[in-house]
Chains A and B, each alone.
Chain A
Amino acid sequence: MRSAGSISVKSSWRLGGMLAIVVIMVVLTAGWPLVNASISDRQRLAAGGTLAIGPSRKDSARITVGDSWSLRKSQSDPQQDYELYYGGVDLSVRYVTLIGRLRPGKLWSGLGHIVRISSSSARLGVPSPIENSQGLRGITGTFTRSGRAGLATVFPGPGGTFAIEMTTLARPGARAADRAAAQLVVRSIMFPEVKR
């Protein structure tokens, strides 16, 4: 008895097949990022426009932007997060699903950890209370990262099942008016489920 080889593969076929696999992997791995890099990421937002964030109306919030705000499309998802910018200021808005009981202090320390993922130098200051126009209370404090300064703000949603976390960071040379415009957007947060 002999083991005659189950599936015989010629050397030329084998090397050709290997080459084909490598080409396919390079095309997928480098091709899409190259095409992506060639497309503009910017979307201008209308002055006074609102952006809803969250998976459903019940579990959602809205923010209102002023004139000349833009959005980074590749980093924005209406269900989870927005990356916005205006002048010299970047604004991140993130929807957070709460696991277990709502504890604002835990959310603040959690946010302190999250911001350090992108830069180990990122730090949050001591939080203080903040209130939106609906009378809903959140917490806010200073936020610094890689020599840039801004504010971090957390608003727990009305049902205690989610929260909205926002961070602003000013680039070096940003005007005071840019920072103020970012704070206006942060304070514009509204929760559709809150009647007021």
Chain B
Amino acid sequence: MNVPASAIAVRVAAAILCVFGLAVIVKELAPAIRIFPSAAALALVMQLPLVVIGFWLFRLLRPVVAPARWWSAAAVVWGMTAAVGCALLANHGLLAIWAKTRGISFASNWAAALSAPLDEEVLKVCGVVLIVLAVPLAFRGPIDGLVFGALTGLGFEAVENFIYGLNMIVQSGAADPRAAVTRSAIVRVAVTGPGSHWAMTAVAGAGIGFLAARGRRGIWPAVGLLLGAMAMHWLFDSPQPASLVIKVAVNFIAVAILYLALRRGYLARARGVLAADAAAGTVTRDEARSLLSRRSRHGALHRAPRGPERDRLSVRQQALLVHLEESVAGHVLLPPAPLSPAEQDRAA
């Protein structure tokens, strides 16, 4: 497949920003890792399940078909490198500005809540925008933005958790570094994890999905959802309410409601497309029934005898899925080829 030169330029720029972010992270953390190597390794290992399970789970969130594995990984890498590295520099500057201009007591309570939402939400969602620009085929609407946003936030969250683990070593006097990183990881994965960066960036990413799918008409939803993500982040970092559980619950419920609404709309449009195709005779009722579910599609494939018939069914499923996705996204496409009499007999 031919990739336009402009898309290659975007990919190169994104890669350079990721390398820059990684360099900042390494420079920032290398001294602590050198002093506490085993605790740092433990902190890193404790984030691996989060990344692996999150990656698998968030790709499952996409109805019907998971996003491309390679670009899903690219979103995670952006969150881990470019977004975190740039956020370290930006936050360092803005946090200090609050302390210098409003005093250290004000900054102690409010600087994080007034800095991180602005810096981090923008830096994370920049990765989602770059994926739209570099791989427009990966985006068909807000649900894709939500999934890529969640993946970007996941990468950011994992590296931030690692950094917090190292910070906890210092904050606990380095009396027991491994206990410090373990405690930090438990709190940040099990307690705050469900309502942290993945949720915020999923909301902002859905806005980018609206913008990508609707053009100018998507500007206001995009702005609104980015502000929503910032509000979630502000709540998370603000001194009130003090209860972490409330903050996490609010953020989780917010992203869950948005996801369910987008998913419902997507599936309703998909069922409409399939009903029309079935009425036109371009898909069978069985196909229309099984196409929306990954499990049903796999079941249909496994029921077909091995060999050419299964291969043909697999090709047809892929073709129908492309048609379905494009139709749901509102693009006018040629309908799938009607079934031959022999295929209709087999389907019957």
Closest residue of chain B to A8 (Cβ to Cβ) is B136
Contact of A103 among B130, B132, B175 (CB under 8 A): B175
Contact of B9 among A15, A25, A109 (CB under 8 A): A15
Return chain B residues, CB-CB under 8 Å to A3: 137, 322, 326, 333
CB atoms of A7 and B140 under 8 A apart: yes
CB atoms of B173 and A98 under 8 A apart: yes
CB atoms of A28 and B319 under 8 A apart: no
CB atoms of A41 and B100 under 8 A apart: yes
| CA A32 to CA B93, docked complex, whole Å | 5
| CA A123 to CA B34, docked complex, whole Å | 16
| CA A9 to CA B137, docked complex, whole Å | 10
Q: Given contacts A76-B99, A77-B104, A103-B175, is CB(A6)–CB(B333) below 8 Å?
A: no
Return chain A residues, CB-CB under 8 Å to B329: 6-7
Q: Given contacts A1-B333, A18-B133, is CB(A32)–CB(B176) below 8 Å?
A: no
B122 at interface by CB-CB < 8 Å:
yes
Q: Given contacts A39-B97, A73-B104, is CB(A28)–CB(B119) below 8 Å?
A: yes
List residues 1-55 of chain A with CB under 8 A from any CB of chain B: 1-9, 11-12, 14-15, 17-18, 21-22, 24-25, 28-36, 39-41, 43
Q: For A5, A35, A103, A113, which residue has the most chain B Cβ atoms within 10 angstroms? A: A113
A78 at interface by CB-CB < 8 Å:
yes
CB atoms of B136 and A6 under 8 A apart: yes
A163 at interface by CB-CB < 8 Å:
yes
CB atoms of A21 and B322 under 8 A apart: no
| B242 CB → nearest A CB, Å | 11
Closest residue of chain B to A13 (Cβ to Cβ) is B133
| A62 CB → nearest B CB, Å | 15
| B127 CB → nearest A CB, Å | 9
Return chain A residues, CB-CB under 8 Å to B334: 1-2
CB atoms of B122 and A6 under 8 A apart: no
| CA A184 to CA B334, docked complex, whole Å | 84
| A164 CB → nearest B CB, Å | 10
Return chain A residues, CB-CB under 8 Å to B122: 24, 28
| CA A150 to CA B291, docked complex, whole Å | 73
| CA A109 to CA B31, docked complex, whole Å | 17
A79 at interface by CB-CB < 8 Å:
yes
Return chain B residues, CB-CB under 8 Å to A4: 326, 331-333
CB atoms of B335 and A14 under 8 A apart: no
A134-170 vs B, Cβ < 8 Å mask (1 yes, 0 no)? 0000000000000000000010000000010100000
B94 at interface by CB-CB < 8 Å:
yes
A97 at interface by CB-CB < 8 Å:
yes
Stretch binding the partner chain, chosen from B55-63, B84-92, B146-154, B155-163: B84-92
CB atoms of A9 and B171 under 8 A apart: no
CB atoms of A99 and B326 under 8 A apart: no
Contact of B172 among A25, A74, A96 (CB under 8 A): A96
Instruction: For the complex, count residues of A whose C-beta is within 8 A of B.
Output: 60
Interface of B is mostly: helix
CB atoms of B6 and A111 under 8 A apart: no
Contact of A39 among B100, B105, B137, B326 (CB under 8 A): B100
B75 at interface by CB-CB < 8 Å:
no
CB atoms of A97 and B172 under 8 A apart: yes
Return chain B residues, CB-CB under 8 Å to A79: 108
CB atoms of B322 and A1 under 8 A apart: yes
Closest residue of chain A to B209 (Cβ to Cβ) is A7
| B63 CB → nearest A CB, Å | 15
B213 at interface by CB-CB < 8 Å:
yes
| CA A3 to CA B325, docked complex, whole Å | 10
A195 at interface by CB-CB < 8 Å:
no
A196 at interface by CB-CB < 8 Å:
no
List residues 31-89 of chain B with CB under 8 A from any CB of chain A: 31-32, 34-36, 82, 86, 89
B260 at interface by CB-CB < 8 Å:
no
Interface residues of B (CB under 8 A from A): 4-7, 9-10, 13, 17, 31-32, 34-36, 82, 86, 89-97, 99-101, 103-105, 107-108, 119, 122-123, 126, 129-130, 132-133, 136-140, 170-177, 179-180, 183, 212-213, 319, 322-323, 325-326, 329, 331-337
13 residue pairs of the A-B complex, CB under 8 angstroms, read A2-B333, A3-B326, A11-B4, A14-B9, A18-B6, A21-B130, A29-B86, A32-B91, A78-B108, A111-B173, A111-B174, A117-B32, A120-B34
Interface residues of A (CB under 8 A from B): 1-9, 11-12, 14-15, 17-18, 21-22, 24-25, 28-36, 39-41, 43, 71, 73-74, 76-80, 96-100, 103, 106-107, 109-111, 113-114, 116-118, 120, 154, 163, 165
User: 15 additional contacts, CB 8 Å, given A110-B177, A114-B174?
Assistant: A1-B337, A4-B332, A21-B129, A36-B93, A74-B99, A77-B104, A97-B172, A99-B180, A100-B175, A111-B174, A113-B36, A113-B177, A114-B170, A114-B173, A163-B173
